[in-house]
C-alpha cells in the first residue's frame, strides 16, 4: 500500500511538473509562464533608464540621455562606441522584435512556431533571401569601416543578451517558449533583405503573362498602359533629358514564352509606399528649407521604427532607425535632412527555365546547355525533423518555382532575376548620409545604391533641395520584364544597367519644391524604358497642388498636408456616377444613403458616413467590374484603381463591364447602381450588428502585434481618418509608420511621431503611448540636443562604461 | 496546529531561497523538503504547502504588477481568457503554484513515511 501511494504521488508530481513546464498547443508552459520569480510578472517593469551599465569592449564612457518620449540620445567619444551603444540600446528596448524579424527574413520561422511556418520559410529561401544577404556581406567585407561598425553594433547587441537571465527574457520568448540567440552581422544583412523585399515593387510578371494569353495584347495594353492618361511624375515634366548620351536597349525580335503558373508567392503589401517633399528657402515662410517624410508600411507593434539621436565628435544625427540596422535611416543632422519613398521600379523579372532532364543539372541557354548549381536550404522545424529544400540556381538567379514548389513539371522552372540579390553596401550609404554636410555628400552617399529603389528627398541648411530616384535599374528593351522571359535566350538577359548619373533627379527646381509619393518617376520623354507597375496616382497630385498654390509654407502647413484626408479618387468618380446612374431603381433606404454621398465633401474624416459608404461602394464596384479576374486556379490580377476609374468613365460599354455570371449585358452605368445596392446591403447588415457606420467606427483601424496581431498585445479601433489613397494614407492596418518634418534652421527644428512607442515590452507604458496622438494628427517636438551637458528635457540618464 | 504554521512558514522561506538560483519548480522542491522535515497529517499535507506557495506567488505577483499599474497583467489576462482582469490572473497564478507545491508535498510525505518505516 505504501509503495502504491509512493508511486502514485510520484506520478502525480511528474505529471504536474510536465504539464506546467511544457508548451501545450497554443498555451504557454503555465508554471514557467506564471511563476512570479521568472515568468511574465518579471516583465511588469518600468524601463530602467538610469544608472551605470558596464559593457565589454567599450573604449570610453557613453552617456545616454532619455527624454519624455523614451527617445535615447546617445553621446559617445568615437564612432566605434557610438554604434556599439546603438546596438546595446536598441536591443534593450526592442530585442525580441529585432530577432523575430531577422528570423522571418531568413526563413527560420519554423524554428519558433513549428511546421505552420514551413511554407513561409520555403518561400523566403526560394526568393534567395539568404543568397542576397551573403552577396551583400561579401561586398561589405571590402569596406573595413562598415565592417568594423557592423561588428561594434553586433557586440553591443550581444552585450545586452549576455546580461539576460531567463527571467529577463522579453515576454514573447516566455509565451512561445524559446530563447534569444547571439546576434551577428548576418542578421543585420537579413533584416536589410527583409526591407529590400518588402519594397521591391509590385511584381506581376507571371500574372500578366496569364492575362496576355487569355485576353490578347491589345486588351492587355488597354488595361495596363505604360503611362496613365494623367501623370505628374516625381521629376517634373519640364526636365530636359538631353544630357543623357546612352541609348535604351534595342528590342530583340525573339518571342516571349507564353507559359506561366497557376499560383504565385505572397506579394509585399500593395500599399507599401510613402510621401516625401521639401521646399526651398524661397518657398518657406521662415527662409529655411523644410523637409517632410512619412513612409507607409504595415502598422505593427512593436513599431518598425525606433527613434534615437546618435552623437559623436564626427556626427550629430537624429531620426528613425531600424532595429537591427546601423545608423539613422530617415532623419537629419545640423546640415542636412533626408527622407525616402519607395521608387517601386520593376527590379524583379522572371525567366522560364527548361532543364535538360529531371536531374536539373543543366538548362537550355544560347543553343546549348548551361550548368546549374544547388543551394541546400536547411529549415529547422520545432519538434520535427529538419526540412532540406534543394533550390536550383541559374545565372539568372534562384529557380523559385519548380515541381516541388507551386508548379508541376519536373523539367521546367521559373527563375527569379532580382536587383536585390546583387551584393551592395547599404550600411555605407547611411554611415555617409548620417555625417553628410551638403548636397555633394548626399549625392556621394546614395551614388552606389542598388536596392530597394528609393526616391531620396533632400534639404540642407545651405538651402539646397533635391530628389534622386536611386537604385540599380536594368537598361531594358521596350517591354522587357513585363511578362515572363525566355531563360534560354541571351537577348532576354538584362543587357546593361542605366548609368547611375542618368537616374532621374532634380536639384533646386524653379517651382521651389520637390516631392514624391510613389508616382511614375518620369514622363514619356525619359530615354529609358520604365514599366508602369501601378504607380500612385492620387496622393502625388494633392501634394503638388497644395505646395504649388501656396506662395510660402511652414511647419504647420506640412503637418496639415501630412494629415490631409482629401479623397481625390472619390472626387474623380462620385460626381460622374451620381450624374449617370439610374436612381429611381433604388429603394427609399438606398436613396437616403445616396443623399449622404451627395452631401459628402470628399474629406475622409472620422465623423462622416460618406467615407464608409464610398469605401464599400467602390469595393463592390471594383469586384463587379473585374469579375473576369476572379478565376480559380489561375494567377491573375485586376487592373489598378486609376485605370479602373478611367475605364468606367471612358469605356462604359466595354465587354469587361459585363458581369459574367448574369444573362444580361451590363454596362458601367448598370454597375454603378448594382454595386451601390450591394454596398447598401452590406452597410445595413453592419449597422444591425455594430451600430452607426461613421468612418470612425466603420474603418476599424488597428495596429497589430507582430505575432499575427495577437489581440492582447495589439490596439484596435483606432480613430484615424483617411484611406490608402489620401495623403494621410492611413488604411486599416497600414499607413504612415513615421511622420517627420524638419525645418533646416540652425540648429534644425523637427517634429515627429509614429503609431507605436519606443519600448517593445507590452508591459511598458511606452509600448503604444504614441498611438492616440498619432491618430489625432499630433506631433512631438523632437529634442535635438546639441551637446551632452545641456540637459533640458532630459528625464533620465544612463552611463555605459567599459567593463574593467 | 503549530506544526502547520511551521511548515507553512518554512515552505515560503525555502521556496524564496531556492528561487534565487532555481527555476519555477523550486516551489515543488521546497514543499517536498518541508513535507519530509516538518511532516503534517491528513489533508494538511496538501493544503498547507498549497496555501504557502499560493500566498507567496500571489503576494509577489501583486507586488510586481501593482507597482507597474498592472500594465502587462491586464494584457496577459486577455491572452489567457480572464477578460483582462489582472486579479483573476494573480489568483490563477497562486493556484497553479499551490497545486504544484501541494502535489510535490504529498510525494514528500510518502517518501518520509517510507523512510520512517525503514528506520
- Rounded to whole angstroms, how far apart are CA atoms A315 and A536? 36
Closest CA to A755 of A695, A714, A804, A801: A714
**Average pLDDT, integer, range B82-91:** 95
**B60: chain A residues, CB-CB within 8 Å:** 36-37, 41
**Average pLDDT, integer, range A227-231:** 93
List all residues 6 or more positions away from B20 whose beta carbon is below 8 Å from its beta carbon.
none
**B106: chain A residues, CB-CB within 8 Å:** 9, 12-13
**Average pLDDT, integer, range B89-105:** 95
Percent of residues in chain A assigned helix, strand, coil, to nearest 5? 35, 20, 45
Sign, CA dihedral A86-A87-A91-A97, equals positive
- Rounded to whole angstroms, how far apart are CA atoms A449 and A437? 19
- Rounded to whole angstroms, how far apart are CA atoms A758 and A733? 19
Closest CA to A558 of A752, A310, A393, A410: A752
Instruction: Please state, rounded to an integer, the average pLDDT across all residues of chain A.
Output: 94
The strands making up A794-802's β-sheet, listed across from edge to edge, are A51-55, A794-802, A62-67, A72-75, A306-312, A315-321, A330-332, A336-342, A454-460, A465-470, A505-507
Q: What is the 3-state secondary structure (H, E, C) of A11-52?
A: HHHHHHHHHHHCCECCECCHHHHHCCCCCHHHHCCCCCCCEE
Number of other residues whose CB lies within 10 A of the CB of residue A390: 11
Residue A1 has pLDDT above 80, yes or no: no
3-state secondary structure (DSSP) of residue A660: coil
**Average pLDDT, integer, range B107-112:** 89
Residue A406 has pLDDT above 90, yes or no: no
Q: What is the pLDDT of residues A522-536, one digit of tens each?
A: 999 999 999 998 899
List all residues 6 or more positions away from A538 whose beta carbon is below 8 Å from its beta carbon.
A568, A569, A642, A725, A726
- Cβ of A762 under 8 Å from any chain B Cβ? yes
**A767: chain B residues, CB-CB within 8 Å:** 71
CB contact under 8 A, A42 and B64: yes
Q: What is the pLDDT of residues A459-501, one digit of tens each?
A: 999 999 999 999 999 999 999 999 999 999 999 999 999 999 9
Q: What is the pLDDT of residues A92-114, one digit of tens each?
A: 999 999 999 999 999 999 999 99
CB contact under 8 A, B110 and A20: no
Q: How confident is the model at residue B97 (pLDDT cuts 50, 70, 90)?
A: very high
Element (H, E) at A468: strand A465-470
Chain A residue whose CA is closest to B104:
A13
**B89: chain A residues, CB-CB within 8 Å:** 34
For chain A, what's the residue count? Answer: 804
CB contact under 8 A, B117 and A2: yes
From the list B24, B73, B110, which residue is nearest A31 (CB)?
B24
CA dihedral A532, A535, A541, A544 (to 10 degrees): -90
Place of cell 537616374: A503
Closest CA to A31 of B94, B65, B52: B94
**B107: chain A residues, CB-CB within 8 Å:** 6, 9-10, 12-13
List all residues 6 or more positions away from A707 whose beta carbon is below 8 Å from its beta carbon.
A172, A175, A176, A713
The confidence score (pLDDT) of residue B119 equals 54
Number of other residues whose CB lies within 10 A of the CB of residue A679: 23
| CA atoms lying within 13 Å on the CB side of residue A446 | 26
Chain A residue whose CA is closest to B116:
A2
Contact A737, A755 (CB under 8 A): yes
> For A22-128, where are the alpha helices, taking DSSP H only?
30-34, 79-105, 109-113, 118-126
pTM for the predicted model, two decimal places = 0.95
Q: What is the pLDDT of residues A574-632, one digit of tens each?
A: 999 999 998 888 999 999 999 999 999 999 999 999 999 999 999 999 999 999 998 77
**Average pLDDT, integer, range A777-784:** 98
The confidence score (pLDDT) of residue A686 equals 96
The confidence score (pLDDT) of residue A583 equals 84
Percent of residues in chain B assigned helix, strand, coil, to nearest 5? 80, 0, 20
Contact A154, A85 (CB under 8 A): no
CB contact under 8 A, A712 and B76: yes
Q: What is the pLDDT of residues A315-346, one digit of tens each?
A: 999 999 999 999 999 999 999 999 999 998 89
Q: What is the DSSP string of A739-794?
A: EEEEE-SSS-EEEEE-SS-S---TTSTTSSTTHHHHHTT--EE----SSTT--TTE
Burial B38-71 (b: 16+ CB within 10 A, else e): bbbeeebbbbbbbbbbbbbbbebbbebbeebebb
Q: How confident is the model at residue B118 (pLDDT cuts 50, 70, 90)?
A: low
- Cβ of A171 under 8 Å from any chain B Cβ? yes
- Residue % of chain A over a pLDDT of 70: 100
- Rounded to whole angstroms, how far apart are CA atoms A413 and B19? 58
From the list A12, A36, A762, which residue is nearest B106 (CB)?
A12
CB contact under 8 A, A713 and B75: yes
The confidence score (pLDDT) of residue A762 equals 95
Residue A709 has pLDDT above 80, yes or no: no
Q: How is residue A121 written as a grid cell? A: 520559410
Closest CA to A308 of A323, A292, A293: A323
Name which of A153-157, A536-540, B3-7 the model is least confident about.
Answer: B3-7
Residue B17 has pLDDT above 60, yes or no: yes
From the list B60, B71, B92, which residue is nearest A36 (CB)?
B60
CB contact under 8 A, A39 and B24: yes
Q: Max Cα separation, chain A?
A: 100
For chain B, what's the residue count? Answer: 119
- Rounded to whole angstroms, how far apart are CA atoms A556 and A553? 8
- Cβ of A18 under 8 Å from any chain B Cβ? no
Q: How confident is the model at residue A689 (pLDDT cuts 50, 70, 90)?
A: very high
3-state secondary structure (DSSP) of residue A640: coil
From the list B25, B70, B114, which residue is nearest A21 (CB)?
B25
**A712: chain B residues, CB-CB within 8 Å:** 75-76, 78-79
The confidence score (pLDDT) of residue A268 equals 84
CB contact under 8 A, B68 and A761: no
Contact A101, A371 (CB under 8 A): no
- Rounded to whole angstroms, how far apart are CA atoms A493 and A466? 33
- Rounded to whole angstroms, how far apart are CA atoms A593 and A683? 10
**A10: chain B residues, CB-CB within 8 Å:** 107, 110
Q: How confident is the model at residue A410 (pLDDT cuts 50, 70, 90)?
A: confident
Q: What is the pLDDT of residues A531-555, one digit of tens each?
A: 998 899 999 999 999 999 999 999 9
Contact A761, A170 (CB under 8 A): yes
Residue B1 has pLDDT above 80, yes or no: no
Residue A339, strand partner residues = A457
CA angle, residues A624, A630, A633, in degrees to nearest 5: 170
Listed by number, the residues of chain A in 34-53 with a beta carbon closer than 8 Å to a beta carbon of chain B are 34-46
Residue B116 has pLDDT above 80, yes or no: no
**Average pLDDT, integer, range A650-672:** 94
Q: Which residues of B touch A (CB under 8 A)?
A: 19, 23-28, 32, 57, 60-61, 64-65, 67-73, 75-76, 78-79, 89, 92-93, 96-97, 99-100, 103-104, 106-107, 109-111, 113-114, 117
Residue A91 has pLDDT above 90, yes or no: yes
Q: What are residue A764's phi and psi, to 5 degrees? A: -105, 145
Chain A residue whose CA is closest to B69:
A44
Q: How is residue A396 written as a grid cell? A: 539568372
Q: What are residue B62's phi and psi, to 5 degrees? A: -65, -45
List all residues 6 or more positions away from B69 whose beta carbon is below 8 Å from its beta carbon.
A765
Amino acid at each position: 500500500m505504501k509503495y502504491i501511494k509512493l508511486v502514485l504521488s510520484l506520478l502525480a508530481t511528474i505529471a504536474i511538473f510536465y504539464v506546467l513546464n511544457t508548451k501545450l498547443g497554443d498555451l504557454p508552459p503555465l508554471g514557467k509562464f506564471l511563476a512570479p520569480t521568472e515568468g511574465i510578472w518579471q516583465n511588469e517593469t518600468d524601463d530602467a533608464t538610469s544608472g551605470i551599465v558596464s559593457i565589454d569592449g567599450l573604449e570610453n564612457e557613453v552617456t545616454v540621455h532619455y527624454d519624455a518620449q523614451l527617445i535615447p540620445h546617445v553621446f559617445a567619444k568615437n564612432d566605434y562606441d557610438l554604434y556599439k551603444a546603438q546596438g546595446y540600446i536598441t536591443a534593450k528596448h526592442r530585442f525580441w522584435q529585432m530577432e523575430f524579424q531577422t528570423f522571418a527574413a531568413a526563413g527560420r520561422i519554423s524554428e519558433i512556431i513549428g511546421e505552420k511556418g514551413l511554407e513561409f520559410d520555403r518561400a523566403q529561401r526560394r526568393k534567395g533571401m539568404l543568397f542576397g544577404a551573403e552577396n551583400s556581406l561579401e561586398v561589405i567585407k571590402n569596406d573595413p569601416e562598415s565592417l568594423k561598425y557592423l561588428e561594434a553594433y553586433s557586440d553591443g547587441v550581444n552585450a545586452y543578451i549576455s546580461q539576460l537571465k531567463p527571467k529577463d527574457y522579453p515576454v514573447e520568448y516566455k509565451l512561445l517558449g524559446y530563447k534569444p540567440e547571439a546576434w551577428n552581422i548576418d542578421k543585420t544583412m537579413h533584416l536589410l533583405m527583409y526591407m529590400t523585399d518588402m519594397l521591391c515593387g509590385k511584381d506581376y510578371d507571371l500574372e500578366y503573362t496569364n492575362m496576355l494569353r487569355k485576353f490578347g495584347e491589345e486588351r492587355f495594353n488597354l488595361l495596363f498602359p505604360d503611362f496613365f492618361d494623367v501623370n505628374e511624375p516625381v521629376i517634373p515634366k519640364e526636365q530636359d533629358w538631353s544630357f543623357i548620351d546612352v541609348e535604351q536597349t534595342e528590342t530583340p525580335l525573339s518571342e516571349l514564352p507564353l507559359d506561366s503558373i497557376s499560383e504565385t508567392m505572397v506579394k509585399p503589401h500593395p500599399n507599401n509606399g510613402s510621401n516625401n517633399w521639401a521646399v526651398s528657402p524661397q518657398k518657406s515662410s521662415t527662409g529655411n528649407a523644410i523637409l517632410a517624410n512619412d513612409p507607409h508600411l504595415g502598422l505593427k507593434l512593436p513599431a518598425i521604427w525606433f527613434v534615437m539621436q546618435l552623437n559623436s565628435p564626427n556626427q550629430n544625427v537624429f531620426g528613425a532607425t531600424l532595429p537591427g540596422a546601423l545608423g539613422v535611416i530617415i532623419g537629419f543632422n545640423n546640415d542636412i535632412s533626408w527622407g525616402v519613398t519607395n521608387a517601386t521600379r520593376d527590379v524583379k523579372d522572371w525567366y522560364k527555365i527548361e532543364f535538360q532532364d529531371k536531374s536539373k543539372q543543366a538548362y537550355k541557354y544560347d543553343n546549348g546547355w548551361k550548368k546549374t548549381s544547388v543551394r541546400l536550404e536547411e529549415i529547422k522545424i520545432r519538434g520535427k525533423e529538419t526540412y532540406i529544400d534543394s533550390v536550383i540556381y541559374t545565372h539568372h538567379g534562384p529557380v523559385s518555382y519548380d515541381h516541388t514548389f507551386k508548379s508541376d513539371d519536373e523539367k521546367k522552372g521559373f527563375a527569379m532575376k532580382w536587383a536585390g540579390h546583387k551584393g551592395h553596401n547599404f550600411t555605407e550609404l547611411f554611415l555617409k548620409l548620417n555625417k553628410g554636410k551638403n548636397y555633394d555628400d548626399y549625392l556621394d552617399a546614395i551614388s552606389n545604391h542598388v536596392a530597394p529603389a528609393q526616391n531620396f528627398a533632400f534639404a540642407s541648411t545651405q538651402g539646397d533641395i533635391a530628389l534622386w530616384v536611386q537604385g540599380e535599374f536594368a537598361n531594358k528593351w521596350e517591354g522587357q520584364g513585363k511578362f515572363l522571359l525566355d531563360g534560354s535566350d541571351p537577348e532576354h538577359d538584362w543587357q546593361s544597367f542605366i548609368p547611375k548619373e542618368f537616374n532621374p533627379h532634380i536639384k533646386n527646381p524653379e517651382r521651389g519644391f520637390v516631392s514624391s509619393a510613389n508616382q511614375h518617376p518620369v514622363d514619356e520623354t525619359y530615354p529609358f524604358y520604365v514599366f508602369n507597375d501601378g504607380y500612385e496616382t492620387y496622393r502625388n497630385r494633392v501634394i503638388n497642388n497644395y505646395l504649388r498654390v501656396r506662395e510660402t509654407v511652414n511647419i504647420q502647413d506640412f503637418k496639415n498636408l501630412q494629415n490631409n484626408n482629401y479623397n481625390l479618387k472619390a472626387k474623380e468618380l462620385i460626381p460622374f456616377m451620381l450624374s449617370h446612374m439610374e436612381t429611381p431603381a433604388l429603394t427609399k433606404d438606398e436613396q437616403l444613403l445616396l443623399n449622404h454621398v451627395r452631401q459628402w465633401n470628399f474629406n475622409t474624416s472620422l465623423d462622416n458616413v460618406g467615407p464608409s459608404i464610398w469605401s464599400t461602394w467602390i469595393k463592390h464596384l471594383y469586384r463587379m467590374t473585374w469579375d473576369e479576374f476572379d478565376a480559380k486556379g489561375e494567377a491573375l490580377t485586376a487592373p489598378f484603381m486609376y485605370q479602373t476609374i478611367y475605364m468606367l468613365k471612358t469605356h462604359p460599354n466595354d465587354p469587361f463591364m459585363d458581369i459574367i455570371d448574369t444573362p444580361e449585358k451590363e454596362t458601367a452605368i448598370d454597375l454603378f447602381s448594382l454595386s451601390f445596392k450591394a454596398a447598401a446591403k452590406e452597410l445595413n447588415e453592419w449597422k444591425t450588428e455594430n451600430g452607426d457606420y461613421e468612418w470612425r467606427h466603420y474603418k476599424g483601424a488597428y495596429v497589430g502585434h507582430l505575432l499575427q496581431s495577437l489581440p492582447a498585445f495589439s490596439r484596435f479601433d483606432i480613430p484615424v481618418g483617411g484611406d490608402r489613397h489620401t495623403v494621410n494614407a492611413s488604411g486599416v492596418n497600414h499607413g504612415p509608420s513615421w511622420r517627420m518634418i524638419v525645418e533646416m534652421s540652425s540648429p534644425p527644428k523637427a517634429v515627429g511621431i509614429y503609431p507605436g512607442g519606443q519600448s517593445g515590452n507590452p508591459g511598458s507604458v511606452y509600448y503604444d503611448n504614441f498611438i492616440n496622438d498619432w491618430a489625432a494628427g499630433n506631433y512631438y517636438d523632437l529634442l535635438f540636443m546639441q551637446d551632452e551637458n545641456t540637459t533640458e528635457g532630459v528625464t533620465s540618464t544612463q552611463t555605459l562604461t567599459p567593463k574593467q | 496546529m503549530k506544526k502547520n504554521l511551521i511548515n507553512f512558514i518554512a515552505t515560503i522561506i525555502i521556496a524564496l531561497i531556492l528561487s534565487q538560483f532555481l527555476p519555477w519548480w523550486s516551489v515543488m522542491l521546497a514543499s517536498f523538503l518541508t513535507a519530509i522535515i516538518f511532516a503534517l497529517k491528513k489533508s494538511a499535507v496538501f493544503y498547507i504547502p498549497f496555501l504557502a506557495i499560493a500566498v507567496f506567488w500571489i503576494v509577489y505577483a501583486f507586488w510586481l504588477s501593482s507597482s507597474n499599474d498592472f500594465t502587462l497583467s491586464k494584457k496577459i489576462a486577455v491572452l489567457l481568457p480572464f477578460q483582462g482582469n489582472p486579479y483573476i490572473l494573480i489568483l490563477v497564478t497562486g493556484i497553479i503554484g499551490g497545486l504544484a507545491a501541494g502535489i510535490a508535498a504529498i510525494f514528500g510525505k510518502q517518501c518520509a513515511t517510507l523512510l520512517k518505516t525503514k528506520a
